[in-house]
Amino acid sequence: MIKQFKPLIFICTFFAIAFSSCNKESTLLIQNDNQNSTNELKTLVNQVKVWHDSIVSNKIKGVIAENNVKPFNLGPDDIIPPTIDFDKAYKNFDTVEKKGISIPLEFNLITGSYLQFVTSIEKNKVSGYIVKTIPDSIYRVKHKNIYDYTNFTGVIIVYDIKGKFLNKIKFNEGVTQIANSVSQNNIEKIKSFDNLQTVTVTGYRKKKRTYLVINQNFSYDMDYGGGGGGDWVVVGGDAPAGLVEDIKTNITNPCISSVMNDILSKDKQNEVMSYINKEFGMNENCNMNISDVLNLTDSKGIFVAGNNRSIRTGSSLTVNIYINYGRNSSREFIAATILHEMIHGYIASQNIPQNGNEAEEIIANPQYVDWMSASLISLFPNLSTIDANALALGGLQETSYFNSLSKDIQDASLKTIGRHEAGSEGQKCK
Amino acid sequence: MKKIILLSIILNLSLNGLAQKIISASNPLEEILQKDFDSTILYSHSNRSYRPNYLIIAKKDSLVFFYRYSSMDKNFYSRDNAPLNSNIHSKLISNQLEFIETKPSINDYFSWVDTKSLNKSIWKDITKYNIWNLVDGAKLDSLDTNCETELHMGYEIFKLITKDKIIQLQYYNPRGLNEDCKFNQTRDDIVKIEEIIFEYFKLSIKLIQ
C-alpha cells in the first residue's frame, strides 16, 4: 500500500518544498502584535533621541523640536544631515546580530539610493552614523525590496552624525571590493568597514536569512512615505538645480507648449525635474527630445497619451518622447503624461532595462505615486492630493501595484484620469 | 507507466499554476459569463488612454457564442469628432466618460455578434495554441538587456473563464517585443491568437452592420 503511494508522496513533498521556497529572496519577517517589542523599541528610540540631541545641541544651538531635530553644520565633503524623524525608527540587526535602530531619511525611488540614520546601543552607550547605500542599477532592478541587501552590489558611504564623511566601501555580490577609501582626517581611526563596529545596517550578508525584524506599527510608516506616517525626508544636495537647456522640445501645440514651459521653468522646479535635470541637463551623453504628435497611436492604432523610445549609440543615450495633442486634455493630465515619460527617460539613463511589463512595474509603487503627485501639486497648487495621486497612476493600470490597491481606489483613479484626459475636469488651455 | 503519466499530469498542472495568474471575477459581466457558459475567452487591449473593450468567445456544450462589449468610439476624446466646445463634442465626451464609469455587465454596451457550432468556429483554431496553458507575460523570461522597444504600446489581456476559476494572461506589446527584442514562442502564439480573433470579429461585425 505504502509502495503504491510512494510516487505521490514524493510529488507532494517536491511541490511542498517548491512552493514554500517561492519568493523568499526578499521576504521580510515582520513581527506582529508584539507589544513588548513595541515598548522596547520606544525605549531604544528615546535613548537614541536623547543621545542624538545632546550630540547635536553641542554642535549648534538650533531649534530642536520633539521628534524633529534640525540639520547641523556642513563641510565640503559632507552630506546635508537631514531632519530626523524618530517616529520612523525600526529595529535592525547588523551582520554580527547586534541590535540597533535605523531611521530612514531618504529613499530615491529610481536609483534605490537609501539614506538612513543607524545606531547601536551597547552597555548603555549609544553610537550612530548616517549610512548611504547606493545599489548598482542591475542589483536595484533585481532587489526591489529596499531592505534586502543580500549579496549586495553597490556602494555604501558612511558619515558621522555631524555629516562628516567617514568611509566609502564598494561591494560586489556581498564582497567588499574597495575598502579603506577613507578621508585623510579619519584614516587613523577607520581602516576598513569592519572597524565601524557600531554601524548598524541591515543586511550586507551573503547568506539568505532573517536579517531584519520590524515592528509593524513602525514599518508601515516607513515603507510607504506619505501613507500615514509622513513623507520621506527630502535631502538637498543630491540633485543639482541646473538648467534644462539640453532637453530639446519641438512642440507645436500651444497648450502642450505652455505646460512644457512650466515643467522646465526654474521657478517651478520640482523633485522629478531635479533628477531629469541632473542627467539630461548636465550630461553630454544623455539627450532628451520631446515632440508633440497629432493623434499618437499604439501598436493597435488606438490613441495613447504619450510614448517613449530610448536609443543608445555607443555611450550616448537619446530619449525621444512623444505627446499626443489630438485631444483637449487638462493641463494637469498633459503634465502628468510628460513627467511620466521623462521618468522613463531617467530610468533609461540609469541603464535599467525597461522591456515589456518591466517598464511600468519599475515605477509602480507608493513612493513613485507620492513623488509624481508632489511634483504635480508643485505645478498646480490647486490640484487636490487625491486627484494628483490618481493622475500619478496614469499608465500603471495593468501593474501589480495598481491591482493591489482597493477596487474603490482603482475605480476612482480611472474615473479621475478619464475626466482629466477628456478635459472635463482640471485646467483647460485658453 | 500509469505512475509516470500521473506524475507528468500533476507536474504539468503545477507548473501551469505557477506560470499563470488566477483571479476572481472583477465585474458582473465576468460573473455572468462564468455562470452561463462552460468556458469563455475574454480578450481586451489596454493602454493608458484606452479602457477595455472586450471581444468575447463563449462556449456552451457544442455551441460557441460571440459577443462584444464596447463603446462606439474607438479613439476616446478625439478633438476631431465635432467642433470644439460644441454640444455634440460635449455629449460625445460625456458618453465616453459614462462608458468608463459603467461596470461591465449585460447592458447597452454588450451585443451579440454570432453563434457557431464548435467544429465550425474559431474556438478550435485558438485552442490549437493551447491558450489555457500559456505562460503569463510577467512570468516569461526576462529580456535582461535594453532592447530599445517603444513604451506604452499597450497590453493584450486574456481572461480565460471556467466554472471554477479565471486565469488572466497579460502580455505587453507581444509583436513589438518579438520584433525588437528576443523572440519568444509564447508571445508569437499570442500574436497568432489575436490575429484569429480580430479577423473573425472584423468580418462578423461588418456582416451584421
The structural domain count of chain B equals 1
Using alpha carbons only, give the angle B180, B43, A369 rounded to the nearest 5 degrees. 65
Record the cell numbers describing residue A366, joined without a space: 507608493
Q: Do B97 and A358 touch (CB under 8 A)?
A: no
Of the listed ranges A28-37, A161-170, B120-129, the one predicted with least confidence: A28-37
The overall pTM is greater than 0.80: no
Report, as an integer, the average pLDDT of B168-196.
Answer: 90
CB A286 within 8 Å of CB A391:
no
What pLDDT is attached to residue A166? 64
What pLDDT is attached to residue A265? 81
SS3 assignment, position A90: strand
* A236: pLDDT strictly greater than 70: no
**Residues in A touching B51 (Cβ below 8 Å):** 414, 418
> B150 or A212, which is more confident?
B150
Report, as an integer, the average pLDDT of A233-249.
Answer: 42
- Mean of per-residue pLDDT scores for chain B: 84
Pick from B2, B21, B24, B47 the residue to mutate for testing the A interface (most A CBs within 10 Å).
Answer: B47
| A378 Cβ neighbours under 8 A, 6+ residues apart | A268, A269, A270
* B42: pLDDT strictly greater than 90: yes
Which among B147, B152, B173 is the nearest to A306, CB-wise? B152
Residue whose cell numbers read 497612476: A393
Question: How far is the CA of A414 from the CAs of A103, A398, B81, in angstroms?
Answer: 35, 12, 23
SS3 assignment, position A63: coil
What pLDDT is attached to residue B28? 95
Angle at which helices A385-392 and A331-349 cross, to 10°: 50
* B55: pLDDT strictly greater than 90: yes
* A223: pLDDT strictly greater than 60: no
Strands in A161-315 per DSSP E: 165-172, 175-178, 213-215, 247-250, 286-293, 306-313
Report, as an integer, the average pLDDT of A218-246.
Answer: 28
Rounded percentage of chain A residues whose pLDDT exceeds 90? 13
CA distance B189 to B16: 16
CB A326 within 8 Å of CB B79:
yes
CA distance A86 to A101: 10
CB A215 within 8 Å of CB A91:
yes
Instruction: Work out the minimum CA distance from A129 to partner chain B, whole angstroms.
Output: 36
Instruction: Work out the minimum CA distance from A355 to partner chain B, whole angstroms.
Output: 7
* A98: pLDDT strictly greater than 90: no
Residue span of the structural domain in which B142 resides: 2-208
What pLDDT is attached to residue B1? 56
What pLDDT is attached to residue B56? 96
Confidence of residue B4 (pLDDT cuts 50, 70, 90): low
The domain locations on chain A are: 29-223, 247-422
Predicted confidence (pLDDT) per residue in B102-111, tens digit: 889 999 999 9
Residue B149: Cβ within 10 Å count? 21
CA distance B145 to B142: 9
**Residues in A touching B145 (Cβ below 8 Å):** 353
Confidence of residue A22 (pLDDT cuts 50, 70, 90): very low
> A269 or A184, which is more confident?
A269
A–B: how many Cβ contacts below 8 A?
A: 156
Residue B159, amino acid = K
Q: Do B146 and A312 touch (CB under 8 A)?
A: yes
Instruction: Work out the minimum CA distance from A209 to partner chain B, whole angstroms.
Output: 24
Which among B48, B97, B140 is the nearest to A304, CB-wise? B48
Which among B100, B152, B177 is the nearest to A298, CB-wise? B152
What pLDDT is attached to residue A134? 80
Q: Closest residue of B to A397, CA-based?
A: B48
* A79: pLDDT strictly greater than 90: no
Q: Closest residue of A to B79, CA-based?
A: A327
ipTM, 2 dp: 0.81
Question: How far is the CA of A168 from the CAs of A77, A109, A154, A196, A301, in angstroms?
Answer: 12, 22, 11, 12, 51
